[in-house]
Amino acid sequence: MISELKISKDRLESIISSFASVNVLVVGDVMMDEYLWGDVRRISPEAPVPVVEIEESTVRLGGAANVVRNIASLGAKTMLVSVAGRDDNGRRISQMLAETGCDIGGLYHSSGRPTITKTRIGARGQQVVRVDRELVADLRDDELTAAQAAFSAFIPKATAVVVSDYAKGVVCAPLLSTIVEQCSRSGKFVAVDPKERHFELYKGVSVITPNLKEAHQVLGIPQPKHVPDDAIEPMGWKIVEHLNLKYLLLTLSERGMALFDASTRKCTMLPTMARKVFDVTGAGDTVISVFTSAISAGGNPVEAAWIANHAAGLTVAEVGTAAVSPSELLAACLES
């Protein structure tokens, strides 16, 4: 197990400046994240619940749309294959994605499902409740046909592919089959932010980025309250072998990350770079976005994981989903 890494300033600048030459194709479940913030001064007379008087509201891109936002923030180009509703939030997501510079020609607006919207209501800096509006179901025939056609049209222009799987329906067996087959044929790097229900379908992708809970799920074993350090490496290699992966990037919360490289049989431990943790929402989106972009920009897997680790340390210090700029990322990397 390796735990130390040194990258020169010139090398960092070379990788981060090369983000501008990258074009990442993102596939997955797009969402709208809505935040309503206010204050609580009384309890409802209708039920024993607080009344939140809303003072501020914001909306942000969520799910696969947040992956697009993260990659675009790095200066890379993006393309998107997804399905949204034929509704106000669907139109709003299209507009917000277009403003990032994303090619949204593969975003299909369906009358068969609403745009996934997660509304978080908070008071005095604390989340009170979250309200989800969604339909969890695999793609209908028209939705699947549109997604497969868009992927086939985009893949020749893609430097790499990110599959952002939130298990809401866009990432389904037929579409994953198309992705793996075409990426294998064209030699394209494909990274997956996984969900439990699809683990067996990820066989043959380049890398998956599970957390500890998901790692236990893929192996079908219960997760203890505390996973000892010496149990992480054997578990990681079992996942690499089970899914025939080139790499595994295992996120370990406050312990950082572990990168497994099948070609070298080396496991590299990366301690967390987070100094303050306010909100882990979207941290996984940041990790897979930066890791894939850095690989595509010429970084090796260890360098890419190291840079992604620093990016995650920046985003968890923000409330809600966040993205980092090349200058912020370079400064954070150089500071360490």
Q: Catalytic residue numbers?
A: 285
Measured distance CA(28)–CA(67) in Å, rounded: 9
Phi and psi (nearest 5°) for 29? -85, 110
Residues 229, 233, 239, 240: is their CA dihedral positive or negative? positive
The residues, any chain, with a CB within 8 Å of residue 324's CB and separated by 6 or more, are 70, 73, 74, 286, 290, 311, 314, 315, 332
Measured distance CA(50)–CA(221) in Å, rounded: 40
Q: What is the dihedral of CA 308, 310, 312, 314, to 10 degrees?
A: -140
Measured distance CA(100)–CA(79) in Å, rounded: 11
In this structure, the strands spanning 30-43 and 50-63 are antiparallel
User: Can you tell me which residue has the tokens 């090619």?
Assistant: 103
Q: What is the dihedral of CA 126, 224, 191, 315, to 10 degrees?
A: 30
Q: Is 75 left (phi over 0), alpha (psi -120 to 50) or beta?
A: left
